[in-house]
Each structure stands twice: as C-alpha cells, then as structure tokens.
Chain A
C-alpha cells in the first residue's frame, strides 16, 4: 500500500469543501477585477474588488460600521426571538385547532409571498421612525414560514412515535413536550431559518428605505454620495451579518438536536 500524498489527504479532509468555496470566490473577484480593468465592465457601475477591499478600513473607521453592524444584528436578533416565540406558538395553535387552521392557513401562506416592505409608511405612522418600525416589518414578513413549518413539523410526527407515547400512558402535555415537539424540531428550524432570511432582507431593505438604523442606512448614505467602493464594502458587511446569523443558528440547532 502506498502512503497517501498530502494533496490527497487534503482533498479527503474537512478543509477541502471550504477551501474550494473560498477559491471560487477569489477566482470570481479576479475575473471581475480583470473585466473592470480592461473596460469590459464600467468602473462607474461596479467598482474593482481591490478598491472595495481597500475601502474597508475607511468605512470601518469613518462610518462607524461596527456600531451599525451591531444595530442591524440587534434588530435581526429581536425579530428572530419574536418570530420564534410567536411563530411556534401560532403554529401549535393552528395544529391543535383544526378550524383555526382551515380558516387562516391560506392567509398565512399568502403573507409569506406578500411584499410587506411596501407597507412601511403605515408602520412608520404606527411606530414612528425608529428601530421598532424596522423590527415589526421584519417580524410580519418573517412570521409565516415559522408558523407554517411548525404546523408541518407537528403534523408530520410519525404515528409510531405517538403510539409509543400512548403505550407509556403519557399525558397530553408530556406527549407534546417529550415527543411531538422534539420530533418536529428539525422542520421548525427550517422555518426559523427561512424566517430569518426574510427578516434580514426586510430589515436591511427598510433601513435603506427609511434611512434609519444600521447597515441599510449606511448603504443608502454611501450610495447617495456615489461612494461605490464604500457601498459595496457595506454590502459585504450585510453578507457577513447573514453568515454570522446562520452559523449561530446552526450551532443552536446542533446543540438542541445533536443527531442532526
């Protein structure tokens, strides 16, 4: 038997997918930089990636991006907690009360597809030009996937697991907390993850629209100043927020359901 080469060991290891992904991103930026430098893409529309990277320091120091970053993260977290609490409770109620489910399930599904962000003037009238307007728009836009996935998860609990619970004479609450909820948890997490995607898009979008708050407002400011490298650097921070968010969620999910 011949010893595996370091390259083969690397390809077989855990680092290979991450390195491949990173390599693709770097390659994309090199191609983009070349296309801009050769004039194929106008630098007045898309700034060269090297300039975006160079502007990071300026944006961090002069535009208080860290404070804005935490502001947006805070709004996302608040919305995340709210959609989890209200979405899961709503889903449980819809699962338990069939008439309620038949009455509102279609409306809840329709809400998921509705461009809630367009109703921002109404939210501003109700909550004022502050973080609550942003949080509430994110909440309304992101609530339905959590509700729908909670209903789906509970309804999809395997009958045999329910029968196991019945065979052990579980009370209704034990049946729910010890069997149905843990069985539905992976589907509920899919709903929460979807909800957070909706929330993040809407939160940054509303910050941009009402020119208030964190990263969305910064993107608006920089775009209005026609500072393209700065605008794109701020967009990179938005992507960073989403990465941090989903990594945290994945950790929580793994902690709650080690088998996943």
Chain B
C-alpha cells in the first residue's frame, strides 16, 4: 500500500487468566491509507477491543508494532483520537466545555476555544445544545459530544470502538450517516471497531474480518460502494451482497465462539 498513515505489524496480546495464559490477538497486521475508512469486525471475544487499546496506546504489553506516519508509537499519541464504546462525556462539563476539553489542554484562550468548540458541535449536529449537560442529553447525543470532543483535537486518525453499540438500530443508522458525512467532509482517516455488519458495510472502504480467539486476520474485504454514501445504501442489492459475504465469514467464527462459551459454562457447572 502506498504511504499508509497507520501500520499495525504482527500485533499479539496474551493475558494471564486463572486458567492459564490466553492469546487474545495473534499476528494481526494491517495498514490504513490517508483518508480511508477501515472497519475491524469480528465475533464477541475475538480481541477487537484489545486491538483498539493497542492502537490507541492504552495497552502497552503487546507484541508487534504500531506506526503512525512512519513514527513508532508506544503509548497514547496526539495523532490518534479515540471514541469509546462506553458513554465517556464528562458529566460535570456542559457540551461546549466537553468539546473544548482537548483545546483547553493546548492552552488555547477561552474565547477561541469556545468558538472552535462551537464549530465541532455544529458539525455533529448539536447546535442549540451548547449549554446543556450530558445528563440532559440522550445516549446518541452524548456519543456525538464524545465524537465532537475527539474531532476537536484534530487527530490524524479517528479510532472508534463500537461507538453506537448501546443505541437502537434507527439512531445507529442516522448516526452512521453523520459519521460518514463528517468523515467525507474532513477526509478523516477512520478505524472503526464493530460487531455490526450493516454499520461496517455502510461506512467502510475496507473491512477486516477477525477470527474468534485467538483473534487473527481472516480476510480483508474491499467495499466498492459509491461515495458519498448515506444510510439509503442499506436497501441496495450490492449492500446486501456484501453483508451476506461478511456474514458467511463471521458465522463460522461466531458459532465457534458460542460453542466455546457453552463448553466453558458446562465445564464450570461440572461437579
């Protein structure tokens, strides 16, 4: 790949558990081009979130390397902005102050950062809610605040871990539209971790399918759907073909995961 902005090479993570060491991620390598939208999809327990933590620099004990624009990174990096699965807004700050948080860290004067924050609040469609606190917003709105806060730090790579997992399907589709719109507007390099096939196909240029434990790269699928995209694309025939193709890959892995979980429960219940 020409000039990839993000390169993950031979990532591996092992955890010590009561039942011995478990390999969560093994030999995962991939790269992401500037402006590309790559999704990583896999069944529950395949190590997607572990990959998220390694790329984001939150997990330092791992094999392999992560490079951003050629620079080897070993910890959180200013080029990578993270959006978390869990609700992560600061409840004690209003929307403007939440979004302005990374700007505050740079020492930007208050007036300028409020103005800059308003720009990103508008981008995620929350204008009019600047003075509201997270407790006064819906789950989807709070995730948009988190997204705006991360965008305000102007990262080279936007790294998202199932940001819409807790939302209903309709909100998820609409927020997918919003993310697509922003990604296209900013030409933002984005890496999305998800278990939702529809979401992945709707938004991605490529989808990396992972195997169930240990998490390895099973296949990388190119999504040749026209851009700019919206959620209308979910009704197209080509979309359906991609969903079916990825489900065929995932089904085997998800079944393996389910069997493994059942065996584990039987083993635990055995006298």
Binding site for B on A (CB under 8 A): 158, 160-161, 163-164, 166-170, 174, 178-179, 182-183, 185, 257-259
- 24 examples of A-B residue contacts, CB within 8 angstroms: A160-B86, A160-B87, A160-B88, A161-B88, A163-B84, A163-B88, A164-B82, A164-B88, A166-B76, A167-B56, A167-B58, A167-B80, A167-B81, A167-B82, A168-B102, A169-B76, A169-B77, A170-B105, A179-B90, A182-B92, A183-B90, A183-B91, A183-B92, A258-B133
Closest to A185 in B: B92
Contact B133 A167 (CB under 8 A): no
CB distance from B111 to the nearest CB of A (A): 20
CB distance from B161 to the nearest CB of A (A): 10
Count of A-B contacts with CB under 8 A? 52
Binding site for A on B (CB under 8 A): 56-58, 76-78, 80-82, 84, 86-88, 90-92, 94, 101-102, 105, 133-135, 153
Cα–Cα, bound, A182→B89 (Å): 13
Interchain residue pairs A-B with the least CB separation, the first 3: A167-B82, A160-B86, A259-B133
Chain B binding surface SS class? loop
Cα–Cα, bound, A23→B179 (Å): 55
Residue of B76, B91, B92, B134 touching A168 (CB-CB under 8 A): B76
Closest to B134 in A: A259
Residue of B58, B76, B88, B135 touching A259 (CB-CB under 8 A): B135
Contact B84 A259 (CB under 8 A): no
Cα–Cα, bound, A232→B86 (Å): 54
Contact B135 A168 (CB under 8 A): no
Cα–Cα, bound, A53→B90 (Å): 49
Cα–Cα, bound, A182→B92 (Å): 7
Q: Which chain B residues lie closer than 8 Å to A170 at the CB level?
A: 105
CB distance from A179 to the nearest CB of B (A): 7
Closest to B85 in A: A160
Contact A174 B105 (CB under 8 A): yes
Contact A182 B90 (CB under 8 A): yes
Cα–Cα, bound, A167→B52 (Å): 12
Cα–Cα, bound, A158→B84 (Å): 12
Residue with the highest number of chain A CB atoms closer than 10 Å, among B81, B92, B94, B101: B92
Cα–Cα, bound, A179→B104 (Å): 13
CB distance from B86 to the nearest CB of A (A): 4
Cα–Cα, bound, A158→B91 (Å): 11
Q: Which chain A residues lie closer than 8 Å to B88 at the CB level?
A: 160-161, 163-164
Q: Which chain A residues lie closer than 8 Å to B87 at the CB level?
A: 160
Cα–Cα, bound, A168→B77 (Å): 8
Q: Which chain B residues lie closer than 8 Å to A259 at the CB level?
A: 91-92, 133-135
Q: Which chain A residues lie closer than 8 Å to B56 at the CB level?
A: 167
Cα–Cα, bound, A178→B101 (Å): 9
Q: Which chain B residues lie closer than 8 Å to A257 at the CB level?
A: 92
Contact B92 A158 (CB under 8 A): no
Cα–Cα, bound, A94→B120 (Å): 40
Q: Which chain B residues lie closer than 8 Å to A258 at the CB level?
A: 92, 94, 133
Cα–Cα, bound, A168→B82 (Å): 9
Q: Which chain A residues lie closer than 8 Å to B81 at the CB level?
A: 167
Cα–Cα, bound, A69→B101 (Å): 45
With known contacts A163-B58, A259-B134, A168–B153 Cβ distance under 8 A: yes
Cα–Cα, bound, A210→B58 (Å): 58
Q: Which chain A residues lie closer than 8 Å to B82 at the CB level?
A: 163-164, 167
Closest to B93 in A: A182
Cα–Cα, bound, A242→B22 (Å): 57
Closest to A163 in B: B58
Contact B90 A167 (CB under 8 A): no
CB distance from B62 to the nearest CB of A (A): 16
Contact A161 B58 (CB under 8 A): no
Contact A168 B105 (CB under 8 A): yes
Q: Which chain B residues lie closer than 8 Å to A166 at the CB level?
A: 57-58, 76
Residue with the highest number of chain A CB atoms closer than 10 Å, among B77, B78, B86, B94: B86
Cα–Cα, bound, A259→B80 (Å): 30
Cα–Cα, bound, A67→B101 (Å): 48
Contact A158 B86 (CB under 8 A): yes
CB distance from B231 to the nearest CB of A (A): 27
